[in-house]
Amino acid sequence: MFDLNLQNTLRKDRDKHISSEDLKDMIQAIFDQKEAIKSRVKSTLETPNNSYVNTLTFDALDLDKIFHIDSIKKLCINYRLRFLDTHLFKGEYPKELYSIIPNLENDHKIQLKDFKIMAPSKLFRLKTKEDPLLFVPIGNGYYYLVHKWGEDLKSYRKILVWPFKNINTLIFTSIILSLLSTAIGSAFFNDFSDTQLLVIFIFNIKTFVFVTFYLLFMMRKNFNESIWNSKYKN
């Protein structure tokens, strides 16, 4: 008989100050406000960029999240990623992003615009789930990292896409593959002369280069250095 129900006690005290209808309206207003903020953020992400520079408050900046366009470009080329406007992004945004952006805006007393995102090509709606990073421009070629989500890229991705970095890396890869194939052939056929091995080596280079360029042409692909900030598929 001396047990105290804390929930009932809190409810009785609450009911003395606000009616159930007023409470319902207040809660509904909170949800409506959150939904309005979410809709605004979503609309901003879907709006094409317009060369806007976000003026952030210095004291509220996290210096670990500031990156220059040269560093972003280098990462994109090394890992074959794109750095494009968010209106081209076709992946799913995480739910927490719709809280992170308004909180960041409150910290800096600004409405953020012109978002850009770094991600693999397959996550963009390009003209003809891995590791997206969302940025906003803050001037002088610098970008501020707003949020990162998804799983980290595999470290060996850099090795896999390295041959497609530019024409030089592709030719170098073809030479290495030609050396390996020639060495394997020499191991199986010991009666090859040095001249014959040289001819085979040169033939292999021409074959690898031709096949690689032909496949790139047929698949309508381009080098990493050409596509990192291109909104076009090919």
**116 Cβ contact partners less than 8 Å away, ≥ 6 residues apart:** 49, 83, 84, 85, 86, 134, 135, 136, 137, 143
Tokens of 104: 């960041």
pLDDT in tens, the chain (234 residues): 566 777 777 877 777 777 777 777 777 777 878 888 889 999 999 999 988 999 999 999 999 999 999 999 999 999 889 999 999 898 889 899 999 999 999 999 999 999 999 988 888 876 545 568 898 899 889 899 999 887 767 777 888 888 878 878 888 887 887 778 777 777 776 666 767 777 777 777 777 777 777 666 655 677 777 777 776 565
> Which amino acid appears at position 55 of this protein?
T
To the question of pTM greater than 0.75 for the whole model, the response is no
Task: Show the CA angle centred on residue 13, arms to residues 11 and 17, nearest 5°.
Answer: 110
